[in-house]
Amino acid sequence: MTDRAKRRMFCKLLLAAAAGLAPLPAMAAGLANYNERRVVMYATSWCPYCQQARNYFRQRGIPYVEHDIEKDAAARRDYKAFGGRGVPVIFVDKRRMNGFSASGFENIYR
């Protein structure tokens, strides 16, 4: 399985977990060897807290995937599906953070 396919599966599992749905066994089995800690941020280009998060991740070398909910229709649908309110919404694996603060992020990233 390619890394891209694994990332897609991970996002689907993340959304299912955030919505309180049980992940499909086939999807979970496909991720058995995928041990990376994943940081996913739903954001906008103009949000100052989103920019703080970007700077924090960049300065610390934390890899992350960003979805702009204003420019990407699929990201907007996902954001609505997990009940997003406000930006940024940051997921670290299955843990969720609304807004951004360095101390709050460190608590869910550990």
Q: Please report which confidence band the pLDDT of residue 92 belongs to, taking 50, 70 and 90 as the band edges.
A: very high
- Backbone phi, psi, residue 56, to 5°: -60, -50
In angstroms, the CA 11 to CA 19 distance is 12
Domains of the chain: 3-109 (3.40.30.10)
Is the pLDDT at 27 greater than 60, yes or no? no
**Predicted confidence (pLDDT) per residue in 59-84, tens digit:** 999 999 999 999 999 999 999 999 99
Q: Rounded CA gap, 110 and 95, in Å?
A: 11
pLDDT in tens, 37-64: 899 999 999 999 999 999 999 999 999 9
